[in-house]
């Protein structure tokens, strides 16, 4: 018998520390259990650690599956296998302990493997696709499949999973042997960079709000329009980088979306460029939120 947690308060699980109640929340502990749940709840929204998802403060009336308990890790030679729920930071550290290079960019990533593969996450000149070997993918029409690197159709901050509503349940990475000291040095450099350029998660945020347009930087464009420090309810654009929104005073999802809409409008007016959100939205009960999300192409 499948057990869900009803009217689950999601706020404290999200990086934004924003969100209402989920009607039915599931936490599968194996791929087999995930398959059982998704067959019973075919329209369920699948999430990992809610690091780049804005959950509506008005709650969600449908089912949500959280893959955070799919957290097994194994190492075989230079191949590292990880469940969708493994946090990127943990995987980066384990790779380093094994003298394996290629995941240094994941250090201090708030997200989990499933989401990072889903969006082809990257930083510091490295991306998931650089070392990706294969993944176990759930396809609504065909069930559980194994995808190779070419099957994933990786591109900047995207993969076939986003286009086809596929779910990453496990991934393998083919890494390179290297000296632990060199790996650690690169991780330390990445941590120092993130400390200077990105807000700490002690100041709740979802990471970069908008994707970089081709040949340019969303942060540069936003900065040029003067949005740093702009406030919407309990959230604001971070003073040190214009592509981050921080929840500094118990903000709501509508506060975030209104601010995103203003940021988007400013760049479109000034540069005739339509920024694409990097974060995802989960909700639908609030009409104003839905309208903003349609405008921003988040739904």
The residues annotated as belonging to the active site are 157, 208, 278
First-last CA distance in the chain: 33
Closest CA to 59 of 24, 27, 15: 24
Query: What is the β-pairing status of strands 231-232 and 167-174?
Result: unpaired
**CA gap 283, 260 in Å, rounded:** 16
Contact predicate 272/238, CB 8 Å: no
Query: Where are the strands (E) in 78-224, listed by range?
Result: 79-83, 100-101, 122-123, 126-127, 132-139, 143-148, 167-174, 176-177
Q: Considering just the CA atoms, what is the radius of gyration of the chain in Å?
A: 19
Could you please report the per-residue DSSP string of 181-192? Answer: HHHHHHHHHHHH
DSSP conformational letter for 251 = -
Cα–Cα distances in angstroms (integers) from residue 164 to residues 38, 171, 270, in the given order? 16, 18, 34
User: SS3 for 169?
Assistant: strand
Q: Which residues pair with 173 in a beta bridge?
A: 80, 132
**CA gap 77, 98 in Å, rounded:** 9
């Amino acid at each position: 018998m499948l057990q869900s947690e009803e009217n689950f308060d999601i706020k404290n699980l999200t990086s934004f520390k924003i969100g209402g109640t989920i009607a039915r929340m599931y936490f599968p502990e194996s791929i087999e259990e995930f398959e059982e749940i998704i067959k019973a709840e075919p329209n369920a929204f699948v999430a990992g650690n809610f690091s780049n998802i804005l959950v509506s403060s008005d709650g969600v009336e449908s089912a949500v599956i959280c893959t955070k308990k799919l957290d097994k890790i194994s190492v075989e030679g230079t191949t590292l296998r990880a469940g969708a729920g493994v946090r990127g930071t943990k995987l980066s550290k384990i790779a380093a302990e094994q003298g394996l290079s290629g995941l240094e960019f994941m250090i201090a990533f708030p997200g989990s493997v499933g989401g990072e593969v889903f969006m082809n996450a990257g930083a510091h000149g490295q991306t998931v696709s650089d070392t990706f070997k294969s993944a176990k993918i759930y396809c609504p029409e065909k069930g559980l499949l194994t995808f190779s690197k070419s099957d994933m159709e990786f591109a900047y901050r995207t993969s076939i999973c986003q286009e086809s509503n596929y779910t990453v349940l496990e991934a393998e990475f083919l890494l390179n042997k290297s000296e632990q000291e060199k790996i650690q040095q690169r991780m330390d450099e990445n941590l120092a960079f993130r400390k200077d350029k990105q807000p700490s998660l002690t100041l709740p945020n979802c990471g970069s709000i908008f994707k970089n347009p081709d040949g340019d930087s969303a942060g540069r464009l936003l900065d040029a329009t003067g949005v740093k420090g702009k406030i919407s309810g309990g959230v604001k654009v971070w003073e040190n980088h214009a592509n981050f929104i921080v929840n500094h005073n118990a903000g709501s999802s509508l506060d975030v979306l209104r601010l995103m809409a203003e940021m988007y409008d400013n760049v479109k007016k000034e540069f005739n460029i339509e920024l694409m959100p990097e974060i995802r939205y989960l909700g639908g009960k609030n009409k104003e939120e839905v309208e903003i999300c349609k405008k921003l192409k988040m739904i």
